[in-house]
Amino acid sequence: MTETQTANKATTQKLPSVFITGTDTGVGKTVLAALLGLIYQEAGLNVAYFKPVETGAAANNGELVPGDTQFVAAVLGLNEPIDVLCPYCYEPPVSPHLAARLARKPVKPEVVEKCFNYLDRHYDAVIVEGTGGLLVPLRDGYMVADVAGSLGLPLIIAAHPGLGTLNHTFLTIASALRVDLALAGVVLGRYPENPGPAAKDNPKAIADFSGVPVLALVPEIPGLDLTRPQHALLKEAALKLNALYRLDEALAKLAPEETADVQS
């Protein structure tokens, strides 16, 4: 290892793999995953993205393309087979348990864990995005919460900023605590430039009533198109977000302690 490589390794910030869940659909989980991945890259980490199950995929030349997975993979420059980054991809925009039943392709927990373990071995950190919320069923007896529990990662809850989010967020927090998931915090996505009374109060209300910190308020990104990997636009947004909320510092506190290598 050269002196430059040694210096870079010494200054690389240790950040944990995380699991992003939502209080609902359309709360900005995919954009948050891309932004976090870019923040991790800026910290010097080789980071992967993993979405175990995606529905609503588009058919292209007879093959299904998981749009969220393809988008984040392109933004982060990942060169992995798409079926490793997203092992279960379905066309109908319905709950995964129903999509899997219609496709006659059931979700297998061992496949999900195998793909994650591969990425975990080959990357410094993995940003995992769940499908919908924690209680979304993937198959009989297997929900998104079970995936999060099996992977053992800190949980980031992505939530709407406005009216109704308190109940949805508190229910998600309660569900996470019931199965002993470690909570990293809440992120309010698609936060408006001119928030109304509810959106203004919600960050403090969530923290005060639940004891779970609100890590960041992610604003709407003008011009963002999820069908195109707009790297420069997202990189600028990620750097601004991290400068404002120091997400890297907050998440670094959750990183597992490194153990010394054992010389044989």
Whether the per-residue pLDDT at 75 is higher than 90: the answer is yes
Whether the per-residue pLDDT at 207 is higher than 80: the answer is yes
Residue 105 and residue 88 in contact, taking contact as beta carbons nearer than 8 Å = yes
Q: Does any domain span residue 7?
A: no
pLDDT at 12: 66
pLDDT at 257: 74
Domain that holds residue 162: 15-252
Q: Does any domain span residue 93?
A: yes
Is the overall model pTM greater than 0.85, yes or no?
Answer: yes
**Distance between CA atoms of residues 46 and 37, nearest Å:** 9
Length of the chain: 264
Whether the per-residue pLDDT at 4 is higher than 70: the answer is no
Q: Does any domain span residue 261?
A: no
Which of 9, 14, 29, 51 is catalytic? The answer is: 51
Q: Does any domain span residue 4?
A: no
Q: Does any domain span residue 45?
A: yes
Q: Quick one: which of 120, 70, 64, 123 has its CA closest to 90?
A: 64
> What's the Cα-to-Cα distance from 107 to each of 35, 113, 181, rounded to whole Å?
28, 11, 22
- Binned at pLDDT 50, 70 and 90, residue 127 comes out as very high
Whether the per-residue pLDDT at 258 is higher than 80: the answer is no
Q: Quick one: which of 193, 171, 189, 173 has its CA closest to 181?
A: 173
Q: Does any domain span residue 213?
A: yes
Q: Does any domain span residue 9?
A: no
Check if 105 is active-site: no
Report pLDDT digits (tens) over 152-169.
999 999 999 999 999 999
- Report the pLDDT averaged over residues 37-65: 95
Report pLDDT digits (tens) over 5-23.
334 444 567 999 999 999 9
Q: In this structure, what CATH number is given to the domain that contains residue 146?
A: 3.40.50.300
Share the mean pLDDT of the chain: 92
Number of domains in the chain: 1
Q: What does DSSP say about strands 137-139 and 142-143: parallel, antiparallel, or unpaired? A: antiparallel
